[in-house]
A = this chain, B = another copy of it.
Amino acid sequence: MRDLSKHPELFSLNTATVRERWDLQQIIDGCLRHGVKAIAPWREQVQAMGLDAAAKALRASGLTLNGYCRGGLFTAPDAAGRAKAIDDNKRAVDEAAAIGAQCVVLVVGGVAASGAKGLTQAHRQIEDAIGAVLAYARTTGVKLAIEPLHPMYANDRACVNTLKHANDLCETLGPGVGVAVDVYHTWWDLALEREIARAGKAGTILGFHVCDWLAPTTDLLTDRGMMGDGVIDIPKIRGWVEAAGYAGFVEAEIFSSKNWWKRDPDEVIGICLERFRTVC
**Contact surface of A with B, Cβ cutoff 8 Å:** 110-112, 116-120, 150-152, 154-156, 159, 161-162, 164-165, 187-190, 213, 215-218, 220, 230-233, 236
Contact = CB atoms under 8 A, between A and B. Distances in A.
A83 B166 CA distance: 40
Contact of A151 (B120, B150, B164, B233): B150
A75 to B, nearest CB: 11
Contacts of A236: 118
A231 B162 contact: no
A152 B155 contact: no
Nearest to A192: B119
Top 8 nearest A-B pairs by Cβ distance?
A: A118-B233, A154-B188, A112-B215, A152-B152, A151-B188, A117-B233, A111-B231, A151-B151
Nearest to A111: B231
Contact of A217 (B213, B220, B233): B220
B118 A155 contact: no
15 contacts: A117-B232, A117-B233, A118-B187, A119-B233, A151-B152, A151-B189, A152-B152, A155-B217, A155-B230, A155-B231, A156-B215, A156-B217, A159-B188, A161-B189, A218-B220
